[in-house]
Amino acid sequence: MKIGDCAKRISAQDAVNMIQNGDRLLVGGFGICGTPFTLIDVIAESDHARELTIISNNLGETGKGLGKLLISKHIKKAIGSYFTTNRDAVKAWNKGELEIELIPQGTLAEAIRAGGAGIAGFYTKTGVGTKLAEGKEEREFDGETYLFIRGIRAKIALIKADKADTMGNLVYAKTARNFNPMMATAADLVIAEVDDIVEAGMLDPEQIVTPHVYVDYIVQNDRYEKMGGEYVERGKH
Amino acid sequence: MLSAANIDPSFIKNRIAKRVAKELHAGSVVNLGIGIPSLIPNFLDSKSQVYLQSENGLLGMGPTPPKEQIDMDLISASKQPVTLGIGSSVFSSADSFAMIRGGHIDIAVMGALQISEKGEIANWSVPGKDILGVGGAMDLVASAQKIIIAMTHATKDHVPKIIQRLTYPMSGIRTADVIVTDKAVFKIKNDSFILEEMAADSSLDEIKRLTDAHFTVSKNLQTMLID
């Protein structure tokens, strides 16, 4: 691995320095599966990137992944589909310290896909007749009611892939793919945390999920390693 | 009468899961929700050829791995470690919900807090409690070809969950097709509830007492098949 040849590679600290107070971030992951742990930890240690709006399916787990940013009080608002399992999120919301916007999981995924694909919005049957439809435009197609949903974009996306090549092409690990490929397309600045960086040409073009055009910077995960199938902090086990 | 409800909650949940498993025909693509539906794979034999879809991005989900083979990059929508079955594939959340929203899931099995007598589903929030999670429930309710509800017939305090009108927030305008409880199997046709099967240890009186909704009894009422 010749990291010197990877022009997109920066340190986690340099990546986090690009985030400012009040920024709107897309963060990949489903629970803590497919989470950019290193980038999140560096945000938690930084004092300049507070009042963040985080768009992510969940806020990690209690004390893990994005859950750390709740403890370090970096999050002003969370937009996602499921926050009930993180008791810190429920507590912060009850105390009025955290705003929450709930979006059905498939609608969230498609809104981010649309945001990255130049689609302003789309119509879906999901949520029609429910509390989550309140205030949304409805329209009939072929005798059925649909809701209009705006595409979602953010200033910065923090995603996690298994491997990058030196150009920034990405491949993912199994279900750790989840929201990461759409998020890679839907932000002005895309930072991908990866476990490994390989030479350009080493990844099979048929296997590349995120082409390099979407990726601005690559950060090597140097804080976590997989032990017994789980990501654990190096030196803390 | 000593009802099953007084015996063992896992006995009841397994009974429901076992009965739902019989509804899953070979070759079908099935999404299983959290709770009781997640027990169903225990009652599918390896020849059943049911393809399990997990909305976090997996078709062809296999059983829980032994501890030494756990990989937390390979989890179910309930965030539990799983395995890749033969012919399985992994994909993004957008592709996964395109599969769901596009009507490519044959059967969704989900739990419910309440079902109305028209078959309307309430399974995502409780009034007066924080509404902080919806997950994929509304996407599945809106778009699965067939919806099977797997739930206990009544709450722990014997309050009916099948009721005339929902008092909990609805999950969508689409209604359920089949309701499987520990006491009975109902089918919903043209907005009406039909009792199709009754558990051997229940009775029509008990079902009426625990169901606060209008239903008709099928002319071919059967004993609930769980073996």
Tens digits of residue pLDDT in B168-227: 999 999 999 999 999 999 999 988 899 999 999 999 999 999 999 999 999 999 999 877
**What residues of B are in the A interface, CB distance below 8 Å?**
54-58, 68-75, 79, 81, 84, 90-94, 96-98, 100-101, 125, 130-139, 142-143, 169-174
* Pairwise pLDDT comparison (A203 vs B42), residue with the higher score: A203
Residue B126 domain boundaries: 4-223
* pLDDT of A5 above 90: no
Amino acid at residue number B94 = A
Asked if A176's CB is within 8 angstroms of B93's CB, the reply is no
Per CB-CB distance under 8 Å, the chain B contacts of A209 are 92
Asked if A106's CB is within 8 angstroms of B100's CB, the reply is yes
Average pLDDT over residues A101-117: 98
* pLDDT of A203 above 90: yes
DSSP designation for B133: B
Q: If you classify domain A3-120+152-224 with CATH, what class do you get?
A: alpha beta
Long-range Cβ contact pairs of B80-88 (< 8 A, separation 24 or more): B80/B38, B81/A229, B82/B54, B82/B58, B84/A174, B84/B58, B84/B60, B85/B51, B85/B52, B85/B60, B85/B61, B86/B60, B87/B51, B87/B60, B88/B58, B88/B59, B88/B60, B88/B61, B88/B62
Q: pLDDT digits over A15-35, tens only? A: 999 999 999 999 999 999 999
Q: Which of A110, A129, A177 sits opposite B97 (nearest CB)?
A: A110
Q: Which of A32, A104, A181 sits opposite B134 (nearest CB)?
A: A104
| Residue to test with chain A: of B52, B93, B145, most A Cβ within 10 A | B93
The count of domains in chain B is 1
Q: pLDDT digits over B85-118, tens only? A: 999 999 999 999 999 999 999 999 999 999 999 9
Q: pLDDT digits over A160-200, tens only? A: 999 999 999 999 999 999 999 999 999 999 999 999 999 99
Whole-number percent of chain B with pLDDT over 90: 86
Here the ipTM equals 0.96
Q: Which of A103, A105, A229 sits opposite B81 (nearest CB)?
A: A229
Q: How many CB atoms lie within 10 A of CB A237?
A: 9
Terminal alpha carbon distance of chain B: 23
Asked if B72's CB is within 8 angstroms of A126's CB, the reply is no
User: What is residue B2's predicted lDDT score, i.e. its pLDDT?
Assistant: 46
Structure-token match 């199994």, residue found: A174
- Locate the domains of chain A by residue range: 3-120+152-224
Q: Is B55 one of the annotated active-site residues of the chain?
A: yes
Whole-number percent of chain A with pLDDT over 90: 95
Per CB-CB distance under 8 Å, the chain A contacts of B55 are 105-106
Per CB-CB distance under 8 Å, the chain B contacts of A33 are 56, 72-73, 75, 79
CA distance B195 to B198: 8
Distance from CA of A150 to the nearest CA of B (A): 15
Structure-token match 């759409």, residue found: A182
